[in-house]
Amino acid sequence: MNPHRSAYLDHAATTPMSPAAIEAYAQQMALVGNPSSLHSAGRAARRVVEEARETLAASLGARPSEVVFTGGGTEADNLAIKGLFWARRVNHPERRRILVSAVEHHAVLDPAFWMAEHAGAEIVLLAVDSRGVLDVDALRAELAAHADEVALISVMWANNEVGTVQPVDDVVAAARTYGIPVHSDAVQAVGHVPVDFAASGLDALTLTAHKLGGPVGVGALLVRRALDVTPVLHGGGQERGIRSGTLDTAGIRAFAVAVAESVAARENAAPRLAALRDRLVAGVLAAVPSATLRGPDPVAEATLRLPGNAHLTFAGCEGDSLLYLLDSAGVQSSTGSACQAGVPQPSHVLLALGIDEDDARGALRFSFGATSTESDVDLLLEVLPDVVARATSAGLASVGTRRHRSDREVSS
Ligand SMILES: Cc1ncc(COP(=O)(O)O)c(C=O)c1O
């Protein structure tokens, strides 16, 4: 095998910055000016930030005043969960319930559980079906029984592991009857499926730059203008007092370039990525009969699945063995699951889909982005049969003595 061949199939973890975003980033980094300063350098930086806000808002069907820049998706999710909960409790101390889908990213789940431990919240995990689609009837039943106690609802737009696109419209419609605010983590959705903030009826929406061609460390929470959000970070009062901290002018400029680009390219890019994904899935299933595709059917239920996501489990293998063996063969992928104290844990997402622990351990996610090509799929299909054979014998050898490892992959 040619050791120089490689395939990056982990765009859902992070995707390369686009050339236009790199150029905008580099140009702006060479300039000085705090957007909050009153002198001309500060005012020039402020103009850049406000233009970026307008560009980003226009790409996402939002108003510029609804954009709150943050230091990424995790921060925006924390601000949504904690900020909405605290703001609602001011006038409604009886509203303790936070409703979240069972397949949320840890950036939503962990702040919600933190609020249960430290701020009197009660978490209700909303069930999903075997494809990862939210059970909207269960949500409606929960609201019918307890709407007066609900502070907020958070349901992701698209899942980062199995790629399921959620029925956000139905969630918003169910919540509207009771006037309950809805947040959605759209980190994996923007640039991959159509996202229009105004049309969605959502109250708050999270996005992050590094999943769509922008830099790491900048994101935004779109917040409906009339909605109260209690700040999590206190300081200089930037971003309407909702998010203090000096604005990252270069990051924000590059973020807006990447959002505009990825949203404009989406209509052409999505079918291309879906075709790569379909070829990968068909090739893997043909080469490895023990593999099972997880999440919605990419062909029969195409609108329920992100175009660039393929997620499979390999019976009798450990996902991390597969990941390391594939990596040595030049293919970079993800297991999608976290590990605790050095022990790989089956993913909470796969368990919520009803997949048993042993099957869930053999999970691998492949995800495509703007720079993906047919040769990425070729390389994976070429090396996979041998990798699976080796991981299977390692899996048989390690039954009962689950391996520990020191490094840590967290779901992304
Ligand atoms: C669904 C989802 N939400 C939130 C995040 C966190 O975003 P960030 O890496 O910008 O903090 C990620 C990325 O790992 C994600 O996939």
Backbone angles phi, psi at 305, to 5 degrees: -135, 140
**What is the pLDDT at residue 338?**
60
Quote the ligand 1 centre to 217 CA distance (angstroms). 11
Quote the ligand 1 centre to 94 CA distance (angstroms). 31
> Pick from 292, 294, 289, 291: which is nearest to 305 by CA?
294
State how far the Cα of 98 lies from the Cα of 157, in Å rounded to an integer: 17
Quote the ligand 1 centre to 412 CA distance (angstroms). 6
List the structure tokens of 396: 């048989």
Q: Which atom of ligand 1 is nearest to the CA of 159?
A: 1
Partnered with residue 223 across adjacent β-strands are 204
State how far the Cα of 11 lies from the Cα of 280, in Å rounded to an integer: 15
> Pick from 208, 169, 173: which is nearest to 192 by CA?
208
Q: What angle do CA 169, 207, 142 make, to 5 degrees?
A: 35
| DSSP per residue, 248-307 | -HHHHHHHHHHHHHHHHHHHHHHHHHHHHHHHHHHHHHHH-TTEEE-SS-TTTTGGGB-T
| Angle of helix 106-118 versus helix 73-91 axis, rounded to 10 | 40
| DSSP character at residue 129 | -
Residues that are catalytic? 339
Count the helices and strands in the chain (H runs, E runs).
12, 14
Q: 219 CB less than 6 Å from ligand 1?
A: yes
| DSSP character at residue 85 | H
State how far the Cα of 235 lies from the Cα of 369, in Å rounded to an integer: 37
**182 in helix, strand or coil?**
strand
List the structure tokens of 211: 């999943």
- C-beta separation of 403 from 318 below 8 A: yes
Q: Which atom of ligand 1 is nearest to the CA of 104?
A: 1
| DSSP per residue, 326-370 | HHHTTEE-B----EETTEE---HHHHHTT--HHHHHTEEEEE--T
Backbone angles phi, psi at 343, to 5 degrees: -105, 125
Q: Which atom of ligand 1 is nearest to the CA of 158?
A: 1
Partnered with residue 311 across adjacent β-strands are 365
Q: 337 CB less than 6 Å from ligand 1?
A: no
CA 204 to chain centre: 15
Q: 74 CB less than 6 Å from ligand 1?
A: yes
Q: Which domains does the chain have, with CATH numbers?
A: 7-15+267-397 (3.90.1150.10), 19-261 (3.40.640.10)
Q: 208 CB less than 6 Å from ligand 1?
A: yes
Quote the ligand 1 centre to 69 CA distance (angstroms). 15
Q: Which of 100, 164, 187, 190 to mutate to test the pocket of ligand 1 (most atoms within 8 A of CB)?
A: 187
CA dihedral 297→275→13→345, nearest 10 degrees, is 30
C-alpha distances in Å from residue 237, one per residue of 203, 231, 248, 406? 22, 9, 15, 41
Q: Which of 208, 212, 349 to mutate to test the pocket of ligand 1 (most atoms within 8 A of CB)?
A: 208
Quote the ligand 1 centre to 109 CA distance (angstroms). 12
Closest-CA residue, ligand 1 atom 14, reads 412
Closest-CA residue, ligand 1 atom 8, reads 73
CA 392 to chain centre: 30
- C-beta separation of 266 from 235 below 8 A: no
Quote the ligand 1 centre to 74 CA distance (angstroms). 6
Q: 188 CB less than 6 Å from ligand 1?
A: yes
- Strand pairing report for 343-344 and 339-340: antiparallel
- C-beta separation of 115 from 146 below 8 A: no
Q: Which atom of ligand 1 is nearest to the CA of 156?
A: 1
Where residue 330 falls (left for φ over 0; alpha for ψ -120 to 50; beta otherwise) is left
Q: 101 CB less than 6 Å from ligand 1?
A: no
Q: 72 CB less than 6 Å from ligand 1?
A: yes
Contacts of 354 (CB under 8 A, 6+ apart): 130
Closest-CA residue, ligand 1 atom 13, reads 412
Q: Which atom of ligand 1 is nearest to the CA of 217?
A: 10
| DSSP character at residue 404 | P
Q: Which of 17, 110, 160 to mutate to test the pocket of ligand 1 (most atoms within 8 A of CB)?
A: 160
pTM for the whole thing?
0.96
Quote the ligand 1 centre to 407 CA distance (angstroms). 19
As averages over each run of 10 residues, the pLDDT of the chain (412 residues) reads 82 98 98 98 98 98 98 98 96 96 98 98 98 98 97 98 98 97 98 98 98 98 96 97 98 99 98 98 96 95 97 94 96 80 81 96 97 98 97 73 52 74
Closest-CA residue, ligand 1 atom 5, reads 73
Q: 187 CB less than 6 Å from ligand 1?
A: yes
**What is the pLDDT at residue 406?**
46
List the structure tokens of 350: 């796969």
Q: Which atom of ligand 1 is nearest to the CA of 208?
A: 10
State how far the Cα of 409 lies from the Cα of 391, in Å rounded to an integer: 18
Q: What angle do CA 384, 389, 393 make, to 5 degrees?
A: 145
